Amino acid sequence: MPETGASPLPPTPPAHSPLFRAEQFVWLTARVLEQRLFAYHFLDGATDAVETALDAYRNEDGGYGHALEPDLRGPVSQPGHACRALHVLDAVERCGGQRVDRVCRYLTSVSTPDGALPAIDPGRRGYPAAPSIPIVEGAPSSLLATGPVVGLLHRNEVWHAWLFRATDFCWQAVESLEKSHPYEIEAAVAFLDSAPDRPRAEAAADRLGRLVREQGLAALDPDNLDAYPVSPGYGPDEHHFPHDYARTPRSLARTWFTDEEMSRSLDHLVGEQQEDGGWPIRGRQWAPGTALEARPMATIEALRTLRAYGRRIG
């Protein structure tokens, strides 16, 4: 057989298993980055291959652009792209070193005086963005943008001068939450799960768990979704479930839900796999290309969540 230079094929998961069906979906639809992430997580793929694919999105200012986060189009760096890049690096255990130092310098340059990140840098105009991410004058501080980034950096024991101010902002924002919505709560959990002050994080998470249940922000019965109103501004089917908040059993948000509620949530997640093998995105689909790019991400996250809870996927 002639040499092709390609790596040997990994073992194939059982036909018709969730993993097999998802693999076919990924090879058919995903960008190179998500193909390599899928291979890393489920097919013994190489870490370096993921980093090489991520490099294509990196800019000279240390940030990332080029629609790395599908809801932000265009080549320019934005905080949302940096968050996605850090998420990828964390997933392959490479979230550190000079690469992350450069990201922190970029984040410092776009942060507000209180150390927070804006949802979008209003100075970078002229490129499309999802309607749910409006450009606002003054670049207001955003827990949605800041919490996941700060959480990822703490999780990987990264320290940078900017991080001290950003951490203080996150504490203030999380502990003052009253009326909220699912994505903001998810951002708060991303911060609290890795915040260094564990007793303070546990206390804050306990309060947020009561808030989530009181405000009906988690659909606890997937068979009766009409009982759970969707938050204002969300898509008509954009419900959030226990597994969206507690993506692993180690999350502080896991204590918010009973074993039965979490089991129903995971059953629902299994059932969301579509005919083509991929998982759907629940947000408003504002452009055909963005939905196509986002679904492989959702598929990888769904499989990782199911595996974290011991569900058989392949």
- pLDDT, tens digit (0-9, with 9 covering 90-100), for 278-292: 999 988 888 888 989
* Least-confidence region, from 103-107, 138-142, 270-274: 138-142
Per the structure, the count of domains in the chain is 1
What is the average pLDDT value for the chain, to the nearest integer? 92
Instruction: Look at residue 90 and tell me if it is in a domain.
Output: yes
Residue 13 belongs to a domain: no
**Alpha helices, DSSP H, located in 111-197:** 143-155, 161-175, 182-192
Higher pLDDT, 133 or 276: 276
Residues 6+ apart with CB under 8 A from 256: 208, 209, 212, 213, 218, 242, 245, 246
- Does 29 map to a domain? no
Domain assignment present for 247: no
Per residue in 195-241, pLDDT (tens digit) is: 999 999 999 999 999 999 999 999 999 999 999 999 988 988 899 99
Q: Which tokens is 207 given?
A: 């309060």
* Domain annotation covers residue 62: yes
Side chain identity, residue 243: H
* Any domain includes 106: yes
3-state helix, strand, coil in the chain (%, to 5): 50, 5, 45
Q: What is the SS3 assignment for 181?
A: coil
pLDDT of res. 10: 56
Q: What is the pLDDT of residue 285?
A: 84
Angle (CA) 274 217 231, round 5°: 80
Per-residue model confidence as pLDDT tens digits over 44-57? 999 999 999 999 99
Which residue range is the domain that position 104 belongs to?
57-127+135-176
Would 83 be classed as within a structural domain? yes
What are the pLDDT digits (tens) for 145-157? 999 999 999 999 9
Report the percent of the chain where pLDDT is more than 90.
82
Do the domain assignments include residue 184? no
> What pLDDT does residue 2 have?
43
